[in-house]
């Protein structure tokens, strides 16, 4: 697939930057256009792979932002994007949209810029272009507290209703112990970039390489065309080379490199992808559609293997709407299976965020009422004998 990628806010921009890094490292060609949008000048300086002229600062003349971000305020995030909508539009004008199949907008939903400006950006894209717009959204971890949960729960509603598909990543599920938050983010961003690029770059291959069961961008778009929330699973195995050419641990039993064994191993890899940590933990049987991509040297990916993996997922996910194919990468040092579960509806984490958000909203309202009363009590004399000057 050919993508125009747009990162909004700090996390959104970092994810896009990691996607560019991974595609460059692996010789893929997915992100044909890139843009990052932020209200904080310092965050805009962070990306390593996004060209300088593809970074847009919004809100620098807005009195609540002034180039320093929106302080986690989702309302201000939306306000500054609306205020600078002409500038955002001008940045879109440089995108040759007929060159791309779809547009991907990435954002962290727990902050102010990604969660507030993201939906405004998506509205504009939907107005301007016919191509599908996909969201890639990061859900905050429970440990971040009530405000990020409230931002995320509200922003999720906006994102999901506006995009053609919303691919979710749950920070809570991916948090590991013994790491600083920044170290954790680095690792998560990398993991997410590997999954999203492996999935969406399928089909963008050297045309001299003819693949029997090659995945096509229309297959990916069909699977994403559900308007719902999606999750991605991934597993890979290293390929080892020897003097005779490609050989791998995947075919460790050299005496029995038969098709049946290979097929079982492909199925095993796909099963591992689905049973591994998904970008959004969910009940896989709640998926509406699914797609399997096997990425690696084609001699390791048999038609029988793809078929048995598809059959297995059909039973496990309890849907017949499953597409499977390969993405030939002759020089890859890994064989990877990536599984897209589209329109999953049983995801406990989203319910948890909503409940944390409702508690936070109640508490905020309560505190606001108390605060007003406390200020009133503070500035008023006990018998209320004094009047203000003006």
Q: Are strands 55-57 and 31-38 parallel, antiparallel or unpaired?
A: parallel
226 has binding-site annotation: no
User: Residue 385 and residue 381: Cα distance in Å, rounded?
Assistant: 7
Q: Any contact of residue 110 with ligand GDP (CB under 6 A)?
A: yes
The minimum distance between CB 306 and ligand GDP, in angstroms, equals 31
The minimum distance between CB 30 and ligand GDP, in angstroms, equals 20
Among 81, 188, 280, 306, binds ligand GDP (CB under 6 A): 188
Question: Which candidate, 237, 256, 258, 265, places its Cα nearest to that of 332?
Answer: 237
Euclidean distance between the first and final Cα of the chain, in Å?
65
Q: Any contact of residue 296 with ligand GDP (CB under 6 A)?
A: no
Kindly tell me which of 198 and 319 has the beta carbon lying closer to ligand GDP.
Answer: 198
Give the interface segment with ligand GDP, choosing from 4-12, 193-201, 284-292, 344-352 (CB under 6 A). Answer: 4-12
Q: What are the two backbone dihedrals, phi and then psi, of residue 131, each rounded to the nearest 5 degrees?
A: -65, 150
CA distances from 309 to 260, 264, 300, 303, 305 (A): 12, 8, 14, 10, 6
Among 171, 230, 237, 295, binds ligand GDP (CB under 6 A): 171
The minimum distance between CB 145 and ligand GDP, in angstroms, equals 9
The minimum distance between CB 141 and ligand GDP, in angstroms, equals 6
171 has binding-site annotation: yes
Among 57, 120, 138, 306, binds ligand GDP (CB under 6 A): 138
Site for ligand GDP in 322-361 (CB under 6 A): none
The minimum distance between CB 261 and ligand GDP, in angstroms, equals 38
Give the interface segment with ligand GDP, choosing from 95-103, 110-118, 308-316, 340-348 (CB under 6 A). Answer: 110-118
- The single-letter DSSP state of residue 95 is S
Give the interface segment with ligand GDP, choosing from 8-16, 206-214, 287-295, 328-336 (CB under 6 A). Answer: 8-16
Among 111, 135, 281, 305, binds ligand GDP (CB under 6 A): 111
The answer to whether 77 and 114 are in contact (CB under 8 A) is yes
Among 2, 6, 7, 14, binds ligand GDP (CB under 6 A): 14
How would DSSP label each residue in 256-318? ---HHHHHHHHHHHHHHHHHS--SS---GGG-SEEEEEEEE-GGG--HHHHHHHHHHHHHHHT
The minimum distance between CB 9 and ligand GDP, in angstroms, equals 2
Burial of 373 (0-12, 13-18, 19+ CB in 10 A): exposed
151 has binding-site annotation: no
114 has binding-site annotation: yes
Kindly tell me which of 91 and 202 has the beta carbon lying closer to ligand GDP.
Answer: 91
Q: Any contact of residue 203 with ligand GDP (CB under 6 A)?
A: no
The answer for residues whose C-beta is within 8 angstroms of residue 350's C-beta and 6 or more apart is: 139, 156, 168, 229, 280
Starting at the edge strand found earlier in the chain, the sheet holding 102-108 runs 55-57, 31-38, 3-8, 102-108, 133-139, 165-170, 229-238, 334-342, 289-296, 322-328
Token reading at 297: 């040297």
The answer for residues whose C-beta is within 8 angstroms of residue 317's C-beta and 6 or more apart is: 274, 284, 285, 287, 290, 341
Kindly tell me which of 107 and 317 has the beta carbon lying closer to ligand GDP.
Answer: 107
Binding residues: 112-114, 144, 171, 189
**Contact positions toward ligand GDP, by CB under 6 A?**
9-11, 14, 108, 110-114, 138, 140, 144, 148, 171, 185, 188-189
Binding residues for GTP: 112-114, 144, 171, 189
């Amino acid at each position: 697939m050919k993508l125009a990628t747009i990162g909004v806010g700090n996390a959104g921009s970092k994810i896009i930057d990691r996607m560019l890094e991974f595609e460059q490292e692996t010789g893929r060609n997915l992100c044909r256009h890139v843009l990052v949008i932020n209200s904080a000048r310092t965050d805009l300086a962070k990306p390593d792979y996004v060209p300088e002229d593809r970074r847009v600062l919004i809100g620098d003349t807005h009195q609540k932002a002034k180039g320093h971000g929106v302080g986690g305020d989702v309302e201000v995030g939306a306000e500054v994007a609306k205020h600078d909508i002409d500038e955002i539009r001008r940045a879109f004008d440089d995108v040759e949209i007929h060159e791309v199949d779809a547009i991907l907008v990435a954002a962290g939903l727990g902050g102010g810029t990604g969660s507030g400006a993201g939906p405004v950006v998506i509205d504009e894209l939907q107005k301007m272009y016919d191509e599908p717009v996909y969201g890639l959204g990061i859900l905050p971890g429970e440990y971040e507290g009530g405000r990020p949960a409230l931002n995320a729960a509200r922003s999720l509603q906006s994102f999901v209703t506006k995009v053609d598909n919303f691919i979710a990543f749950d920070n809570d599920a991916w948090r590991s112990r013994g790491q600083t938050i920044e170290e954790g983010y680095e690792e998560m961003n990398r993991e997410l970039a590997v999954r999203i690029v492996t999935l969406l770059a399928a089909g963008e291959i050297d045309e001299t390489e003819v693949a029997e069961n090659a995945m096509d961008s229309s297959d990916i778009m069909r699977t994403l065309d559900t308007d719902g929330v999606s999750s991605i699973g991934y597993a890979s195995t290293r390929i080892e080379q020897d003097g005779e050419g490609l050989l791998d641990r995947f075919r460790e039993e050299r005496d029995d490199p038969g098709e049946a064994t290979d097929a079982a191993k492909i199925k095993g890899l796909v099963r591992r992808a689905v049973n591994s940590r998904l970008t959004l933990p969910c009940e896989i049987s709640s998926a509406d559609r699914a797609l399997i991509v096997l990425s690696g040297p084609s001699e390791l990916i048999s038609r029988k293997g793809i078929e048995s993996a598809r059959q297995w997922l059909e039973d496990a996910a309890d849907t017949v709407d499953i597409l499977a194919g390969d993405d030939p990468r002759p020089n890859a040092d890994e064989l990877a299976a990536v599984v897209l579960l589209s329109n999953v509806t049983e995801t406990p984490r989203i319910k948890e965020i909503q409940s944390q958000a409702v508690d936070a909203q109640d508490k905020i309202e309560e505190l606001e009422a108390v605060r007003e009363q406390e200020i009133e009590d503070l500035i008023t004399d006990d018998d209320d004998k004094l009047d203000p000057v003006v």
